[in-house]
Amino acid sequence: MDEISNKLQAFNCPVPLSQHDSILLGHGSGGTLTHELIKSLFQKHLGNEFLNAGNDGSVLPSCTGEKLVVSTDAHIVSPLFFPGGDIGRLAVCGTVNDVAMMGAHVDALTASFIIEEGLPISDLERIVASMTEACLEANVKIVAGDTKVTERGKSDGLFISTSGFGWLPSGRQISGDLAQPGDAVIISGSVGNHGVAIVQARGNLGFSSSVQSDVAPLNGMIAALLEAVPDVHVLRDPTRGGLTTTLVEIARQSGVSIELEESQIPIDQPVRSICEMLGLDPLYMANEGKLILILPNSSADRALEMLRSHKYGKGAALIGKVRENSSGKLWLRTALGTTRVLDMLSAEMLPRIC
């Protein structure tokens, strides 16, 4: 009898392995594997009083008299890791910056992860840890999250969608339609670095350089700026489509024209060289840690001084003026004194042939 009992005890039903080194479809099942992933990875890094409560949503404290600002952004980037950052840092900074550009204090984020079956768990952990670091720097918390897993081949490694929430102090009005004739146009630093870092990280160029993505949370710098210089008209981050596309949007929204001085636009030499080699234009390349600031000319010097004192604004420069002209056009004055119109990009930029 003992013998049989021993045999029976040895004959165990195989329990699914709980330690995995890559994402399985089951991690998206909503069952044990999902909970394990949430507990051992997401809560480990992102855990706080809101997330740890384990509810479907979070109740946020409100500030009387202030208005709620909401923004949302889906992040897809290939490769997931690139010089200067990764999709996790991008997903936090992108949404933090969008809320901050409204002039709001950013309080909380939500994050949804769409993960492809087979993604190494170590990669996911690096990305989530990087989000934590970005959240700490931006002083925000992720208060709700979701995880889904797609079959292999149905998505590209990992997509992260984040939403951001913040409070707008009463009386503050910052918007893309408030650029006024005579206003100064300022950029917080060199343009094109993120776009070039990504092009290069795709790895088939046959050369490498020191260019790093500028991905960074700008809410701290913006809060300090608005404290020192409250009369800001427009704040916008020139992400996809770059400096040009964002300024054309602002010119159209505000019904003005904007004139840029080409020689004043800061572009790092390696970015300029790589763009020239590939036939790309740095003025259209994405940035993830820069802001465009439009404000009365009389406040421009103070704003520049303020920005330059911050680590993400060291390269801030006055690059142009808003003009009284309802055309909604963006003009560039070249170093030769000639002018040309800059327009939005019609489609994705493709490298030239010779």
Partner 1 sequence: MTSPLPVDHRSPTLALRLAEEIKSIISQPWNIMEICGGQTHAIMQYGLDQLLPKGLRMIHGPGCPVCVTSLEAIENALALASNPQVILTSFGDMLRVPGASNDLLTSRSRGADVRVVYSPLEAVKIAQANPHKQVVFFAIGFETTAPAIAASIQHAHRNRIKNFSILPANVLVPPAMEAILDGENRLVNAFLAAGHVCAVMGFHEYLPIAKKYRCPIVVTGFEPVDLMSGILLAVRQLEEGRFEVENAYNRAVTQEGNLAAQALIKDVFEPVDRKWRGIGSIPLSGLGLKTSYIEFDAVSRFGLNPAPIPESPLCLAGKVLQGLINPPQCPAFGKACTPVNPLGAPMVSSEGACNAYYRYQKGS
Residues forming contacts to partner 1 in the complex (CB under 8 A) are: 204-206, 278-279, 329, 334-341, 343, 346-347, 350-354
What are the structure tokens assigned to 197, written together?
Answer: 């870092």
Q: Which is nearer to partner 1, 63 or 344 (CB)?
A: 344
- As measured in angstroms, the least distance from the Cβ of 289 to partner 1 is 27
Q: In the complex, what is the shortest distance from the CB of residue 336 to partner 1, in angstroms, rounded to a whole number? A: 5
CA distance 205 to 200: 7
Is residue 127 a contact partner of residue 158, using CB atoms and an 8 Å limit?
yes
- What are the respective helix, strand and coil percentages of the chain, to the nearest 5? 35, 20, 45
CA distances from 162 to 75, 137, 208, 322 (A): 8, 17, 31, 33
Identity of the residue, 255 or 351, whose beta carbon is nearer to partner 1 in the bound complex: 351
Report in angstroms how near the CB of residue 200 gets to partner 1 at its nearest.
Answer: 12
DSSP tag of 21: S
Identity of the residue numbered 138: A
Least distance from partner 1 to the Cβ atom of residue 243, Å: 16
Please say which residue, 62 or 338, places its beta carbon nearer to partner 1: 338
Looking at the DSSP assignment, which residues form a beta bridge with residue 212?
none
Cβ at position 349, least distance to partner 1 in Å? 8
Residue among 14 and 206 whose Cβ is closer to partner 1: 206
Nearer to partner 1, 7 or 352 (CB): 352
HSE-up of 119 (CA within 13 Å, CB side)?
Answer: 29
* Residues β-bridged to residue 166: 69, 106
